[in-house]
Structure 1
Amino acid sequence: MDLARLELAIQRVRRAPDPGGLAFIAEFGEQANPHAGELVAGLMGHRNADVRVFAARTVGLIQHAEARDALVACLDDVVDWRLVLAAAESLGRLRAAKAIESLERVSAAHWFPPVRDAARKSIRVIRGEDTFASEKSPRDSFFTFFDAWTRERNLLRPALTQAPDELPPPVLVQRTFTSMEEGREAETLGRLVAKRRQPTCGLRVPGGFLLGLDRGEWRGTLAYQSEDATQESFIAWDNIHGLHRVGSRIFAVTGLAHLGGNEGHLFLVEPRESTYAITPWRELPGAPEYSGWLPDGRLCIVCIGACVVVTLDGALQALEASEAPLPPA
């Protein structure tokens, strides 16, 4: 084992934890555990979601058995399906027999089918009925681990409708708002600058509108604008694909698929003094393509990896082909 190379990876992760550094540690497999196990396990509570997810996978690849209890706790995460999937797989790699009951619960009840499948696989491995395929280089598969689901093209194209409080295209083109964008000129590089843009989605709220913009790789904006357009407030710098009210809650559908990246998020938008603020609510299985309403009143988000349904009580479901209403002929 190249201890000097492993130490470089460990120092990288200590300085600034990131999935790339964890991938280098994972490449050493079980040999890395005595040197990096405790460090990696501690990152399962990191503030960055990607770091948490890849730390949960790495502890299994390096056989850090002391992380079993923390991995079981990750199975109860409701925000990020990726974390649950990574934890389920790592528990199988660690042959965590005491986790079988928790894995059975995930295999029966989790909303996303690949997570249920991962839990079932780990149960079989723990019971000696299955094995994980050997990986010549864990680092090679590290970043494709989740792509098996988020990169597989979702073929469902359900016909969706718009709610009355969602602004239709003829109304959107009549409004402009201030979009905060990354400066591209020499004098504005590295800071946000204001541009007047037409929103690509909008939602009526008391006293005005929430307006969103999707600019692809250049990122968009979420803002609040008063009815008469005399007052505006910047809320977030992100690609806003859709704005929807589900019961008493407002959700912003965000994400981007570009080059090697493919991510989707569902944010909760809540009143904050005279404006609004957003907080992360759920991870989506890939970048959103479009969203709207099913005939039965559920919000549907068509993502690259799957169609996700948000029920009125706030639960997530994966839309089955038999449930998807066909678009008009």
Structure 2
Amino acid sequence: MQGSFRRLAVVALAALFASPASAQQKTAQCLTLEQCIAEVRDPAIRVNGTDIPAKERITAFGDDAVVALLPLLVDPDGRIREDAGYLLHSFRDIDPRHYEALLAGWNYGSGRRNGWLIVPIATTRTDAALELLWADFERDPGTGSNSQIFFALPFFGPERLQPLLLDRIERCRRSADGKPCDGILALFDAMEDPLLANRRTPTIGLFGDTMADLAANGATDKARYTAETYLLARQHPMGLALRIARLDALDVEALARDEEAFAPIYPITEISRFGEQARSAGPSIARFLDPRLDPEVRAAAALALGRIGAADQASALVAQEPDLRDDWLLAYNTAEALGRLQAAEARPLLERLAASHWHRGVRNNARRGLNALSGGVFGLPESEPQGPVVPDEDVLRFLSDVRWAGDEADQRCRIAGKDITLRSDPAGRIRFPARGVSRIDFAPVSETRYRAVRQHIPVEFVQGRVTAIYPHHRGDLIAFNGGEFGGGLVLLPEAGAPRTIVREQVDFLWEMEGKLYVAAGLSHLGLDQGNLRVVDLRSLAVERVIRLPASPYQLVLRADRTAIVTTGAGDFRIAEDGTPLDAAAGCD
């Protein structure tokens, strides 16, 4: 993925090149270089890992320190060799006369090489160092398995790397398996990263035409996609044209038949990074507002139309209104897009969203949009927090939930009174409390019932623990949650094969007004999303999907006959008849 190396570099550099004072628990006692080197040799001085108290003082001695550290690279003690390599890693310029000694340290012993020395070797900037390290890059161009090589090669500068890279790009263009394409994007990213080699080196001037040729004439899709990704990240017009072409090649009818059809998201968000340069892509993107498509695709399309200034698609955005109540993220992005487009025809819709949508972020974005329609900027007219939650580049590349401070969903209702606990799986209508607010705890399914279920529904059919068993006149509705491994709601009939009703991890479910409400979602490795699926109990068909602020974990009932689904990103409140409501309304 484009940009992944840059994020890797920032994390790694925090440990490699940052001032040691922030992480150290001990202070260096040495005053002279000889005393500091003695501290390095003394294991009692060490704190842990690469925390060397004398590092900053040793680096300040410059070339004298390099001379003193080089013999340690061939010390019999492996710890000392590693420490010396780590300290040399901190020098940005090392005299070329030390190349051979660094090489000897890199090759010392019969075990693994001292990986810290790749960067010091590069800082000598000798022709021999470039030849050596380029051969190492060719041997292993992986950012995970050979990350130090990407920190090292930028020290040679783009002009010296140009002939080597051009040769690799040509091999990438002609290759039948695309293997020479590996590492090209990461190396370009490293060359342009200002944290590496203490400078940012734009590469488009030297390599733009070559990468454009690769995009047009690469022998494999991998080669063409490598070039296209490079051109896109550097705002090259050909990258935009190619991404629009890829988007146009996607068949909406085919995507509508695939529940996992996320293919348009990356082209859409990458096109949106071009801003108004991509305005002509408006019709291409607007196709993906189709209600039959995955909600994430539609939300990405709505956001992109505003980012590229596609004012001719404002009516297509307004037409999304029937789905904006249940899909708060689509509403959030639509309100933002209409505001950025200053679409006068959207005023009634924005006024309705600002006044009554259940999600605070949607109300805020609608108010921001109304402010823009009134001649202001896209922002809240009041003095409220305006800073984006995440950097703008990430907003454009990766679809984020809320992007502005204060836009998370409301979460204010307190639980009061005696809790209601169901001692068995939920069956029938839920019981609203006579007063106050009460929580429903769903009792876990016993091991005996779980084993009985698995006799009829094996893990190959659906994974996870059983979270609920709901008796139905056609059989049992059984809910499963396997975390990142899946889950779902399955009908186990009296006779015949089981049938899947919902393909999502189910946390809990309840019945209300003749409908079955299935709270489902996943929180795993930074992903936190959830849906409330409304199932018609007669047909057992999902008739409605309501996007939750995040994955659900608790059901709360109020005396006013409303239910609240609690999530880590705020509450969702719903009336007994299924109408979404402001979670904070009426709460103390």
Q: TM-score scaled by structure 2?
A: 0.47
Aligned equivalents of 1:91 and 1:62: distance in 2? 12
Please tell me the residue identity of whatever aligns with 1:7: A
1:265–1:282: 8 Å Cα contact kept in structure 2?
Answer: yes
Match of 1:18 in 2: 264
Match of 2:420 in 1: 161
2:463–2:485: 8 Å Cα contact kept in structure 1?
Answer: no
Match of 1:238 in 2: 504
1:308–1:317: 8 Å Cα contact kept in structure 2?
Answer: yes
Q: Which range moves more in the overlay, 21-30 or 133-142?
A: 133-142
Aligned pair in 2 of structure 1 residues 119, 317: CA closer, same or farther (>3 Å)? same
Aligned equivalents of 1:281 and 1:210: distance in 2? 18
Q: Which range moves more in the overlay, 67-76 or 231-240?
A: 231-240
Displacement of 1:99: 1.6
What RMSD in Å do the two structures reach over aligned CA positions?
3.2
Match of 1:40 in 2: 285
2:535–2:543: 8 Å Cα contact kept in structure 1?
Answer: yes
Match of 1:140 in 2: 394
Aligned equivalents of 1:82 and 1:197: distance in 2? 28
Greater relative CO (CA pairs within 8 A, separation 6+): 1
Aligned equivalents of 1:60 and 1:175: distance in 2? 52
Aligned equivalents of 1:24 and 1:134: distance in 2? 22
1:31–1:62: 8 Å Cα contact kept in structure 2?
Answer: yes
2:302–2:317: 8 Å Cα contact kept in structure 1?
Answer: yes
Q: Which range moves more in the overlay, 213-222 or 147-156?
A: 147-156
Displacement of 1:197: 6.7
Aligned equivalents of 2:462 and 2:271: distance in 1? 43
2:464–2:482: 8 Å Cα contact kept in structure 1?
Answer: no
1:204–1:210: 8 Å Cα contact kept in structure 2?
Answer: yes
Pair 1:261 & 2:531 matched: no
More strand by share: 1
Match of 2:483 in 1: 216
2:276–2:307: 8 Å Cα contact kept in structure 1?
Answer: yes
Q: Which range moves more in the overlay, 211-220 or 44-53?
A: 44-53
Identity %: 26
Aligned pair in 2 of structure 1 residues 134, 258: CA closer, same or farther (>3 Å)? closer
Displacement of 1:277: 3.5
Aligned equivalents of 2:509 and 2:339: distance in 1? 39
Displacement of 1:116: 1.0
Match of 1:327 in 2: none
Pair 1:175 & 2:175 matched: no
Displacement of 1:157: 6.8
Deviations 1:58-110 (A, max 9, x none): 11100111111111122342331111111111111111122212211111121
Q: TM-score scaled by structure 1?
A: 0.81
2:268–2:301: 8 Å Cα contact kept in structure 1?
Answer: yes
2:576 to 289, 305, 312: 312
Pair 1:58 & 2:325 matched: no
Count residues in correspondence: 308
Where structure 2 has 5 or more consecutive residues not aligned to the other structure, the ranges are: 1-234, 251-262, 380-385, 428-441
Aligned pair in 2 of structure 1 residues 231, 104: CA closer, same or farther (>3 Å)? same
Displacement of 1:221: 2.7
Aligned equivalents of 1:52 and 1:76: distance in 2? 13
Match of 2:313 in 1: 67
SS in structure 2 opposite 1:199?
strand
SS in structure 2 opposite 1:269?
strand
2:408–2:570: 8 Å Cα contact kept in structure 1?
Answer: no
Please tell me the residue identity of whatever aligns with 1:278: V
1:76–1:84: 8 Å Cα contact kept in structure 2?
Answer: no
Aligned pair in 2 of structure 1 residues 222, 180: CA closer, same or farther (>3 Å)? farther
Match of 2:232 in 1: none
Aligned equivalents of 1:59 and 1:288: distance in 2? 30
Aligned equivalents of 1:153 and 1:100: distance in 2? 25
Please tell me the residue identity of whatever aligns with 2:364: D
Aligned pair in 2 of structure 1 residues 134, 306: CA closer, same or farther (>3 Å)? closer
Pair 1:5 & 2:5 matched: no
More helix by share: 2
Please tell me the residue identity of whatever aligns with 2:287: G
SS in structure 1 opposite 2:498?
strand
Displacement of 1:209: 3.0
Aligned equivalents of 1:208 and 1:283: distance in 2? 28
Match of 1:204 in 2: 471
Please tell me the residue identity of whatever aligns with 2:272: A
